[in-house]
Structure 1
Amino acid sequence: MLSKDQTLQEQFKIFYNEHKPKNFEDAIEKFAIFGGVGWGEIDTSKESYGLIKKLILDDYSYIRNDVNDITTGAPLYHSLLSAIAMGDGKTHSSYKRAKLEKDVGDRAVEELVERNIIRVEKPKKEFTSWAENETIDNKLYFTSPFLRFWFAFVSPLFKGIRDKNYEEVKKRWQNRETEFSNLIFTQLSNELIKKEFSKKDEILEISSYWDKKIELDIYAKTKSGKIIVGSTKYTNAKVKKSELTRLQELCKEAKIDAGIFVIVSKKGFSSELKTLKGENLKLLTLKNFKALME
Structure 2
Amino acid sequence: MSNKKLLNQFRAFYFKNYPQDMETQISYFAIFGGLNWQIDTSQDILVLIKSLILKNFDNLNAKIDKLTLGNEANKRLLKALATGDRRIFSAFNKAGLNNGNGGAALNHLQEKGVIQLEYSREEHPRELYPDRKLKREEARHRISHKVLFSHPFIRFWFYFVQPHIKEIKEQNYEKFLKDFELKCNSYTSLVYEELSEVLLNYNLRDSHIISSGSYWDAKTEIDILTLTEDGNIYVGECKWTNHKINKKELHKLNDKCQKLDIKPTQIIFFSKRGFSKELEQLRGKNLVLFSSEDFKSLLQNSSKKRTIEDFIN
Does the TM-score normalized on the shorter chain lie above 0.5? yes
Provide the C-alpha distance between the structure 1 equivalents of 2:146 and 2:286, rounded to a whole number of angstroms: 29
Which is further off, 226-235 or 126-135? 126-135
Paired residues, number = 288
- Structure 1 position 74 matched with structure 2 position 71: yes
Provide the C-alpha distance between the structure 1 equivalents of 2:182 and 2:128, rounded to a whole number of angstroms: 38
Provide the C-alpha distance between the structure 1 equivalents of 2:252 and 2:169, rounded to a whole number of angstroms: 46
- Structure 1 position 90 matched with structure 2 position 87: yes
Residue of structure 2 in register with 1:151 after alignment: 158
- Structure 1 position 23 matched with structure 2 position 29: no
Change (3 A) 1:94 1:293: same
Change (3 A) 1:71 1:128: same
Match of 1:65 among 51, 62, 68: 62
State the Cα distance separating 1:275 from its structure 2 match.
2.0
SS in 2 for 1:45: coil
- Structure 1 position 283 matched with structure 2 position 280: no
Residue of structure 1 in register with 2:47 after alignment: 50
State the Cα distance separating 1:130 from its structure 2 match.
8.2
Residue of structure 1 in register with 2:264 after alignment: 258
Provide the C-alpha distance between the structure 2 equivalents of 1:244 and 1:154, rounded to a whole number of angstroms: 36
Change (3 A) 1:255 1:51: same
1:129-144 alignment, distance < 5 Å: 133=139, 134-144=141-151
Q: In the alignment, is the contact (CA less than 8 A) between 2:19 and 2:42 conserved in 1?
A: yes
Q: In the alignment, is the contact (CA less than 8 A) between 2:73 and 2:101 conserved in 1?
A: no
* Divergent runs of 4+, >4 A: 126-133
SS in 2 for 1:191: helix
Match of 2:36 among 35, 38, 54: 38
Q: In the alignment, is the contact (CA less than 8 A) between 1:129 and 1:254 conserved in 2?
A: no
1:85-124 alignment, distance < 5 Å: 85-124=82-121
User: Which TM-score applies when normalising by structure 2?
Assistant: 0.87
- Structure 1 position 225 matched with structure 2 position 231: yes
* Greater length-normalized contact order (CA 8 Å, ≥ 6 residues apart): 2
State the Cα distance separating 1:33 from its structure 2 match.
0.7
Which is further off, 236-245 or 73-82? 236-245
Match of 2:185 among 178, 189, 194: 178
State the Cα distance separating 1:26 from its structure 2 match.
0.9
Change (3 A) 1:129 1:234: farther
The alignment's C-alpha RMSD in Å is 2.0
State the Cα distance separating 1:268 from its structure 2 match.
1.1
Q: In the alignment, is the contact (CA less than 8 A) between 1:128 and 1:256 conserved in 2?
A: no
Deviations 1:38-95 (A, max 9, x none): 21x2121322221111101111111111122222110110011011111111112211
SS in 1 for 2:214: strand
Q: Any unmatched runs of 5+ in structure 2?
A: 130-138, 301-313
SS in 2 for 1:165: coil
Deviations 1:235-290 (A, max 9, x none): 12211112111111101101223221111111111222122222221111112101
Q: In the alignment, is the contact (CA less than 8 A) between 1:186 and 1:217 conserved in 2?
A: yes
Q: In the alignment, is the contact (CA less than 8 A) between 1:128 and 1:255 conserved in 2?
A: no
Q: Any unmatched runs of 5+ in structure 1?
A: none
Provide the C-alpha distance between the structure 2 equivalents of 1:177 and 1:129, rounded to a whole number of angstroms: 40
Q: In the alignment, is the contact (CA less than 8 A) between 2:215 and 2:222 conserved in 1?
A: yes
Letter of the 1:264 counterpart: F
Provide the C-alpha distance between the structure 1 equivalents of 2:296 and 2:53, rounded to a whole number of angstroms: 28
| Identical pairs, percent | 36
State the Cα distance separating 1:193 from its structure 2 match.
0.3
SS in 2 for 1:7: helix
Provide the C-alpha distance between the structure 1 equivalents of 2:243 and 2:126, rounded to a whole number of angstroms: 32
- Structure 1 position 269 matched with structure 2 position 267: no
Change (3 A) 1:222 1:99: same
Change (3 A) 1:260 1:170: same
State the Cα distance separating 1:127 from its structure 2 match.
9.8
Which is further off, 119-128 or 95-104? 119-128
Letter of the 1:172 counterpart: D
Change (3 A) 1:136 1:173: same
Provide the C-alpha distance between the structure 2 equivalents of 1:120 and 1:106, rounded to a whole number of angstroms: 12
